[in-house]
């Protein structure tokens, strides 16, 4: 086990005299209505420090997207020919004129180049500033905002301005109007005591899964283990062969870390061959790795135990990224960011070598993220896909609702001040460059009632979804949920996996836990095994998965045709034959998929 600490501390820019010369006129760049459930506590302290992240335009991004489409299409001659780090950086690099214009603007406010941190491609410039200076530069006021439901506190503004001459050189600046928070899916974990052992019932006590040819221990209907998932998804006999070249990773936020002692108990219970093995930990921007048993994170324990248990002995890494804003409006706390995706992306894109599969079980309502910011972050995910990385995200745990696991308390209203009733998709799951994983339950499998799904309001439906999603929409009775969802949007989820009654070890004891937080790392582990088979055969990793998944049109997946995921006072959508916005194409049949991916 190795632990790496990466403290990317940026230079704190003190108050400085503005360079001589007449000030430029500012023009309004963005203005939003105060989001629902956030209350204004007053002006932010002038000396409170915020990290301003300035996004420069990426004039060749469409070229990157074209490359990604070709290398991810299994029918294209370039399939699997992933781009290098240098190739990707060249495709997202800004024009030199934009770089010069931004640094001239910063210099006019006394901020020198050496005080700035630039991303590997130079498309992001980050500088830490006191609130008073940021307000002057952006012509705005930063306020302290508190979330009425969970008490989170952020320093944000509802508008900002820039000199007009920077319009073509700056795409966006955050954190300004972004009120999104990285939340663990199914934040109210359904803990329940688990049996003292996970021993399966007798070999005669099996469930035959119709149409798949597999049998599963009957105990798996009430307790999900590594063995259950390998049986159910037809991977019992697979032995990884390319463990020197293949890898899997999990991301953790909000002070979450995985406990080594819990993992060993899990291995004793479910994966005896893995006893005394561990995983690497990478700490980013103040991420934690406190191994005190009582401080272990349920989300992190779940992710690591099942992802590594299924894919063992594939090497694993846990990225722990700081960024929760424990802001006290009475003090000048210097840690208010809560944009951990950017912190993580800034780090991971700078690495010459990246694990081929990465699972994330965090997200928020799409509408809490400014659309320009969501699209920019989504574009960062595309960069990883172009480098051969498969990104999986939990689809959410609120059905078609706002992520609140209790349908009775969901508030399905728009966040734009109009308070319209709408279904609420999740982000980053709604980004077309990631694979969204929904949830199932029981054997035979049915859709679990909290499986997040629906249609993005930010991202149009990609061409590779047209056939499958178009067929689903055509099957809906005319007028179904008219006005509640965007039928032209990117549809989620793409696939699904078991999502409840997972037996993990948490803080020294066995418990059951559920959520799409469980399905994403589990399905990621099976993708890692598919990569293993390809790499062992001399082929590249699968990379961006969605064009392949939709090209297969359900082949290699167990179609889930029963169940629904309600929300917003409606029954939500139903699981049906083919793709549906509850379970996607269904759950993987590893044996069939292995044979398929070895042909490309």
pTM of the complete model beyond 0.85: yes
Confidence at residue 170, expressed as pLDDT on a 0 to 100 scale: 97
Cα–Cα distance between 124 and 118 in angstroms, integer? 6
Kindly indicate the confidence band of residue 1, based on its pLDDT and cuts at 50, 70 and 90.
very low
Please give the annotated binding residues, written as ranges.
559-560, 578, 580
Percent of the chain with pLDDT over 90: 71
Cα–Cα distance between 278 and 165 in angstroms, integer? 53
Residue 7 has pLDDT above 50, yes or no: no
Confidence at residue 192, expressed as pLDDT on a 0 to 100 scale: 61
Domains of the chain in start order, with CATH, are 8-58+93-178 (no CATH), 228-497+512-597 (3.40.50.200)
Burial of 554 (0-12, 13-18, 19+ CB in 10 A): middle
Please give the annotated binding residues for Ca(2+), written as ranges.
559-560, 578, 580
**Cβ atoms of 574 and 582 closer than 8 Å:** yes
Residue 500 has pLDDT above 90, yes or no: yes
Average pLDDT, integer, range 481-493: 97
DSSP class of 19: P
Which has the closest alpha carbon to 481: 37, 97, 472, 151? 472
Confidence at residue 414, expressed as pLDDT on a 0 to 100 scale: 85
**Cβ atoms of 303 and 341 closer than 8 Å:** no
Which distant-in-sequence residues (6+ apart) come within 8 Å of 147 by Cβ? 37, 38, 153, 154, 181
**Cβ atoms of 136 and 157 closer than 8 Å:** no
The residues annotated with a catalytic role in the active site are: 299, 303, 517
Confidence at residue 289, expressed as pLDDT on a 0 to 100 scale: 75
Cα–Cα distance between 438 and 451 in angstroms, integer? 5
Token pair for 528? 């890692």
15-29, 88-102, 212-226, 508-522: range with lowest mean pLDDT: 15-29
Q: Tell me: the pLDDT tens digits for 524-566?
A: 999 999 999 999 999 999 999 999 999 999 999 999 999 999 9
36-40, 276-280, 408-412: range with lowest mean pLDDT: 408-412
What is the β-pairing status of strands 3-6 and 153-156?
A: unpaired
Cα–Cα distance between 230 and 235 in angstroms, integer? 5
Report the half-sphere exposure of 409 (CA within 13 A, side-chain side).
Answer: 5
Residue 347 has pLDDT above 60, yes or no: yes
Confidence at residue 86, expressed as pLDDT on a 0 to 100 scale: 97
Confidence at residue 404, expressed as pLDDT on a 0 to 100 scale: 62
Kindly indicate the confidence band of residue 201, based on its pLDDT and cuts at 50, 70 and 90.
very low
Q: In this structure, how many other beta carbons lie within 10 angstroms of the beta carbon of residue 170?
A: 20
DSSP class of 580: B
Percent of the chain with pLDDT over 70: 87
Confidence at residue 183, expressed as pLDDT on a 0 to 100 scale: 56
Confidence at residue 190, expressed as pLDDT on a 0 to 100 scale: 52
Maximum CA extent, the chain = 85
Strand blocks (E) in 36-98: 38-43, 49-55
> What are the backbone dihedrals phi and psi of residue 457, each rounded to the nearest 5 degrees, phi first?
-95, -5
Higher pLDDT among residues 326 and 478, named by residue: 478
Residue 498 has pLDDT above 50, yes or no: yes
Confidence at residue 24, expressed as pLDDT on a 0 to 100 scale: 65
Cα–Cα distance between 276 and 342 in angstroms, integer? 34
Higher pLDDT among residues 375 and 411, named by residue: 375
39-48, 239-248, 286-295, 504-513: range with lowest mean pLDDT: 286-295
Cα–Cα distance between 592 and 600 in angstroms, integer? 14
Sign of CA dihedral 159, 363, 48, 172: negative
Confidence at residue 9, expressed as pLDDT on a 0 to 100 scale: 37
Q: Tell me: the pLDDT tens digits for 75-123?
A: 999 999 999 999 999 999 999 999 999 999 999 999 999 999 999 899 9
Average pLDDT, integer, range 119-133: 94
Confidence at residue 349, expressed as pLDDT on a 0 to 100 scale: 96
Confidence at residue 342, expressed as pLDDT on a 0 to 100 scale: 81
Higher pLDDT among residues 408 and 143, named by residue: 143
DSSP 354-422: --SEEEE-EEEEGGGS-HHHHHHHHHHHHHHHHTT-EEEEE--SSTTSSS-S-GGG---B-SSSS--B-
Cα–Cα distance between 366 and 412 in angstroms, integer? 12
Which has the closest alpha carbon to 426: 482, 477, 490, 484? 490
Which distant-in-sequence residues (6+ apart) come within 8 Å of 431 by Cβ? 374, 377, 378, 381, 393, 459, 490
Q: In this structure, how many other beta carbons lie within 10 angstroms of the beta carbon of residue 286?
A: 20
Most confident of 14-18, 149-153, 207-211, 471-475: 471-475
Average pLDDT, integer, range 463-474: 98
DSSP 238-278: -----TTT--EEEEE-TT----HHHHHHHHHHH-GGGTT--
Q: Tell me: the pLDDT tens digits for 418-455?
A: 888 999 999 999 999 999 999 999 999 999 999 999 99
Token pair for 492? 């989620």
Confidence at residue 18, expressed as pLDDT on a 0 to 100 scale: 38
Confidence at residue 278, expressed as pLDDT on a 0 to 100 scale: 95
Confidence at residue 147, expressed as pLDDT on a 0 to 100 scale: 85
Alpha-helical segments (H) within 73-174: 85-92, 96-108, 131-138
Residue 263 has pLDDT above 60, yes or no: yes
Confidence at residue 188, expressed as pLDDT on a 0 to 100 scale: 37
Average pLDDT, integer, range 22-34: 83
Which has the closest alpha carbon to 489: 440, 426, 569, 408? 426
Burial of 239 (0-12, 13-18, 19+ CB in 10 A): exposed
Per the prediction, the chain carries an average pLDDT of: 88
């Amino acid at each position: 086990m190795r632990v790496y600490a990466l403290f990317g501390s940026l230079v704190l820019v003190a108050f400085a005299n503005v360079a001589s010369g007449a000030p430029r006129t500012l023009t309004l760049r963005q203005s939003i209505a105060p989001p629902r459930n956030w209350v204004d506590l007053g002006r932010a302290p002038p000396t409170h420090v915020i990290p301003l992240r300035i996004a420069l335009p990426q004039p060749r991004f469409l070229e990157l997207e074209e490359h990604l489409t070709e290398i991810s299409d299994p029918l294209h001659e370039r399939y699997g020919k992933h781009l290098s780090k240098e190739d990707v950086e060249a495709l997202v690099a800004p024009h030199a004129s934009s770089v010069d214009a931004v640094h001239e603007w910063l210099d006019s406010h006394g901020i020198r180049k050496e005080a700035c941190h630039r991303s590997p491609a130079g498309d992001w410039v980050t500088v830490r500033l006191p609130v008073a200076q940021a307000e002057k530069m952006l012509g705005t006021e930063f306020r302290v905002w508190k979330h009425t439901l969970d008490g989170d506190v952020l320093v944000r503004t509802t508008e900002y301005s820039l000199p007009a001459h920077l319009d073509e050189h700056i795409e966006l600046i955050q954190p300004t109007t972004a009120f999104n928070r990285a939340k663990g899916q199914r934040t109210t974990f359904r803990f329940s005591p688990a049996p003292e052992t996970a021993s399966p019932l007798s070999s005669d006590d099996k469930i035959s899964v119709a149409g798949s040819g597999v049998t599963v221990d009957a105990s798996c209907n009430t307790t999900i283990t590594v063995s259950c998932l390998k049986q159910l998804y037809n991977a019992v006999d697979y032995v990884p062969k390319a463990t020197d070249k293949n890898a899997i990773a999990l991301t953790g936020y909000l002070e979450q870390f995985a406990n080594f002692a819990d993992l060993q108990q899990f291995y004793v219970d479910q994966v005896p061959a893995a006893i005394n093995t561990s995983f690497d930990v990478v700490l980013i921007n103040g991420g934690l790795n406190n191994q005190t048993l009582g401080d272990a994170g349920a989300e992190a324990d779940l992710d690591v135990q099942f992802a590594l248990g299924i894919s063992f002995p594939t090497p694993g890494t846990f990225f722990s990224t700081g960024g929760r804003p424990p802001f006290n409006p009475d003090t000048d706390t210097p840690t208010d960011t809560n944009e951990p995706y950017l912190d993580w992306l800034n780090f991971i894109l700078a690495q010459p070598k990246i694990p081929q599969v990465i699972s994330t079980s965090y997200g928020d309502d799409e509408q809490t993220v400014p659309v320009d910011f969501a699209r920019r972050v989504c574009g960062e995910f595309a960069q990883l896909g172009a480098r051969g990385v498969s990104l999986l995200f939990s689809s959410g745990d609120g059905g078609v609702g706002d992520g609140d696991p209790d349908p009775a308390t969901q508030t399905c209203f728009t966040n734009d001040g109009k308070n319209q009733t709408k279904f609420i998709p999740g982000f980053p799951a709604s980004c077309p460059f990631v694979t969204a994983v929904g949830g199932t339950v029981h054997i035979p499998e049915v859709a679990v009632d909290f499986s997040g799904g629906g249609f993005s309001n930010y991202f149009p439906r990609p061409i590779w979804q047209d056939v499958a999603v178009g067929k689903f929409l055509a099957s809906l009775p005319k007028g179904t949920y008219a006005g509640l969802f965007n039928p032209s949007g990117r549809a989620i989820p793409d696939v699904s996996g078991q999502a409840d009654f997972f037996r993990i070890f948490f803080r020294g004891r066995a418990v059951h836990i559920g959520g799409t937080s469980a399905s994403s790392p589990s399905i990621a582990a099976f993708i890692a095994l598919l990569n293993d088979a390809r790499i062992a055969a001399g082929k590249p990793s699968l990379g961006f998965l969605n064009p392949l998944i939709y090209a297969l049109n359900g082949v290699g997946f167990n179609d889930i045709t029963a169940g629904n995921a309600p929300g917003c006072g409606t029954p939500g959508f139903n699981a049906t034959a083919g793709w549906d916005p509850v379970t996607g194409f269904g759950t993987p049949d590893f044996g069939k998929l292995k044979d398929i991916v070895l042909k490309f």
